[in-house]
Amino acid sequence: MDFRRQSSLKPYPTSENHVFKSNNKNTSDGSKPSDHPTLPTSMAVSNGIFFTVFFSVTYFLLIRWREKIRNSTPLHVATMPELAAIILFIASFIYLIGFFGMCFVQASPYSDDDEEDEEIESVVNHETVSKEVDTRSTTFDCETTTAVVSEEDEAVIRDVVSGKTPSYSLESKLGDCKHAAFVRRVALERITGKSLEGLPLDGFDYESILGQCCEMPVGYVQIPVGIAGPMLLDGKEFMVPMATTEGCLVASTNRGCKAIYVSGGATSVLLKDGMTRAPVVRFGSAKRAAELKFFLEEPLNFETFASVFNKSSRFGGSNESNVQLQGKIFTQDYLQLDFPDMDILGISGNYCSDKKPAAVNWIEGRGKSVVCEAIISEQVVKKVLKTTVASLVELNMLKNLAGSAMAGALGGFNAHASNIVSAVYIATGQDPAQNIESSHCITMMEAVNQGRDLHVSVTMPSIEVGTVGGGTQLASQSACLNLLGVKGANKESAGSNARQLAKVVAASVLAGELSLMSAIAAGQLVKSHMKYNRSGKDIAGKA
């Protein structure tokens, strides 16, 4: 069903197909009638005289007739002053009737075309006002469009507003995801009394998010996507998509990509690949809990357990078990059949640790553990990065290492790794909440080749990315993955696309760290943010 606004109004005339007519255009006799009838000075004087005469003689005659009635004098017997007053009364009356009558019947200075223009303008203005006061208006795209609510939709909307129909059931009730989003949106505006104008609804595949990405949608948020690159990584070129609203972030990362590219590119190493999950279970005693710990630490027992676990998924398998005991409660990969007295409290005991800062991820890693490095020549440092090798090495030691240590940072020994991780994650459909542990990074810089060149590296032990399922299958995010050449599953080598994406993330962080640190060392940071990350409109307004 098409919910776009339908209107019987003709398109508003444009300069191409309609010439707006001036009210002061020439008439057939060459004269130029004014916008409104105006009175010459002499006519104004004449009107004043006749008005004075009219009311004066009227007053005089009324006084004279009242005296005749009191004195029983016949009214038709008139003296010379009375006759003169009657003549002046008639003359002034005729003049005034003629003057005002001429004004009433005078031709309008507007032609039929002008009246048509006025009618169109009136309709457009009325439509604009209606948009402002109608709280049930709905926008389908960036432009304001008043939605037409059918009688059937009106009934459903009333049920949602009253609570009779749950909002979450609209998809199944209406059988159309976009239709459900539209009805839910209008109902929300009526319930809250707030307009959702500016939040687009049209142009999105709501079927694609049903049951896996987002519930009860009322629209979607637009985030601009910029491109940094080419990034030369392991001999291959990548154009890196970054979704962000922070000015100069893409530009800075792009500068880092350039510095790496002209210096011969970056290299990366995948140190570890494995996602952790730690259910929490409980036994009746600490002794019994310890028995399970010892059981799992036996290599033969773990191999038996792993073989059973690996049959449950074609995408993953169990390759390590780390049991942590706290009294009679511990977290581990459970074995319910071998220990029937084990009480499973939850699928996650937070030892994983997912979407939370934790030393275990910083030390042992989670997801993909990647190291990425590059050697930037002295000439590139000076010409592209506008600083020196010595300045970068000193700044990195004092800022990223000493400063972060003083702050008690947990995995935060870097300048702004989370900036790049978040931007790439949003663009490629990753879980933005996993930016917390995925941004764990230590940035190292040192002078090499007799102090002439710069060796820069980032070590990121817990990059959590995927290329299958979730937000990766949405059209926009899928396009960004396709740009990187890592869309979907790799049929030849399972998981290789996700591993490649993790390396691209690390290389992008390397570029971002290199550029930002150079900007700080060269005193360019404030200047660049003032230029790219400030609204020119605000500055103009204040000026």
Q: Which sequence positions are flagged as catalytic?
A: 246, 355, 431, 529
User: How far apart (Å, rounded) are the C-alpha atoms in residues 207 and 174?
Assistant: 13
467 backbone dihedrals φ, ψ, rounded to 5°: -125, 5
Q: Reduce the DSSP state of residue 303 to 3 states and report it.
A: helix
Residue with tokens 């275990």: 360
User: How far apart (Å, rounded) are the C-alpha atoms in residues 348 and 354?
Assistant: 9
Determine the Cα angle at 375 with ends 373 and 380, to 5°.
130
| Residue 134 Cα to chain centre, angstroms | 24
Instruction: Give the burial class of 40: count Cβ atoms within 10 A of its Cβ; 0-12 exposed, 13-18 middle, 19 or more buried.
Output: exposed
Show the tokens assigned to 405: 């240590």
Structural contact between residues 322 and 363, judged by C-beta atoms closer than 8 angstroms: no
| Furthest CA-CA distance within the chain | 143
Pairing of strands 267-274, 324-326: unpaired
Instruction: Give the burial class of 280: count Cβ atoms within 10 A of its Cβ; 0-12 exposed, 13-18 middle, 19 or more buried.
Output: buried
Structural contact between residues 4 and 97, judged by C-beta atoms closer than 8 angstroms: no
Show the tokens assigned to 90: 């008639």
The single-letter code of the amino acid at 402 is A
